[in-house]
């Protein structure tokens, strides 16, 4: 269930809103005059959402390329590339 708080709580109890964002690990919806106005979330939550969005964009691009008939990289080739990256990163 979403956490909804009035904007006065943000103004008067910012630390409490911050704690809610971190403890519940979900956004807090802020209302102004009874209507939705803002969403406040922890930086960690935002970064996870941003990474997820980036992944979805990459998947959409891959699906688009596949629909156009473009060939991708084989599983074997991809695994070899990943192993090389991991080995080089550990040096």
Question: For residue 91, is pLDDT > 70?
Answer: no
Q: What is the mean pLDDT of the chain?
A: 93
**26 — pLDDT class (breaks 50, 70, 90):** very high
- pTM of the entire predicted model: 0.70
Q: What's the topology of domain 3-41? A: YefM-like fold (3.40.1620)
Which of 34, 24, 19 has the alpha carbon at shortest distance from 3? 24
CB 7 within 8 A of CB 32: yes
Secondary structure (H, E, C), the chain: CCEEEEHHHHHHCHHHHHHHHHHHCCCEEEEECCEEEEEECCHHHHHHHHHHHHHHHHHHHHHHHHHCCCCCCCHHHHHHHHHHHHHHHCC
């Amino acid at each position: 269930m979403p956490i909804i708080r009035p904007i006065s709580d943000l103004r008067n109890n910012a630390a409490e809103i911050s704690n809610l964002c971190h403890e519940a690990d979900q956004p807090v919806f802020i209302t102004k005059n009874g209507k939705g106005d803002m969403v406040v979330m922890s930086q960690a939550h935002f970064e996870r959402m941003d990474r997820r969005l980036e992944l979805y964009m990459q998947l959409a691009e891959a699906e688009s390329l596949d629909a156009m008939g473009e060939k991708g990289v084989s599983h074997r080739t991809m695994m070899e590339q990943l192993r090389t990256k991991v080995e080089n990163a550990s040096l």
